[in-house]
Amino acid sequence: MNYSGSLPVLNAMEPIVEAVLEEHYVKTGILKCGCDRCKLDILLLSLNHLPTHYTSSQEGEAYIKAHYLNPQQQSDVLREITEAVKVIELKPKHN
């Protein structure tokens, strides 16, 4: 989203959650369904349960990513993704 004459707004949690989802679920092949729709639904559900961290700069994004190097923060992200995987695998939006 761009506002007239301003920088783009980014929820810095999105690339963090995407990376953790990819590393722990997609690359390992443990998802029951790894289609784009299921991965997107898992991502969105996870993001809805995690605090948002908006930024409009690369410096802000780097600061937020550094904050999520903390083991407790990583655990929180992984927990939310795991819960989202359970929900989406029980009721995928396709056959």
**Chunked in runs of 10, what are the mean pLDDT values of the chain (95 residues)?**
65 91 91 93 97 86 81 91 96 84
pLDDT given at position 49: 97
Q: Which residues pair with 10 in a beta bridge?
A: 55
Residue 79: its pLDDT value, please? 96
Which DSSP letter does residue 46 get?
A: H
The strand pairing partners of 11, in sequence order, are 54
Domain ranges of the chain: 10-90
Joined tokens for residue 52: 């948002």
Q: SS3 of 48, please?
A: helix
**Whole-number pLDDT of residue 73:** 87
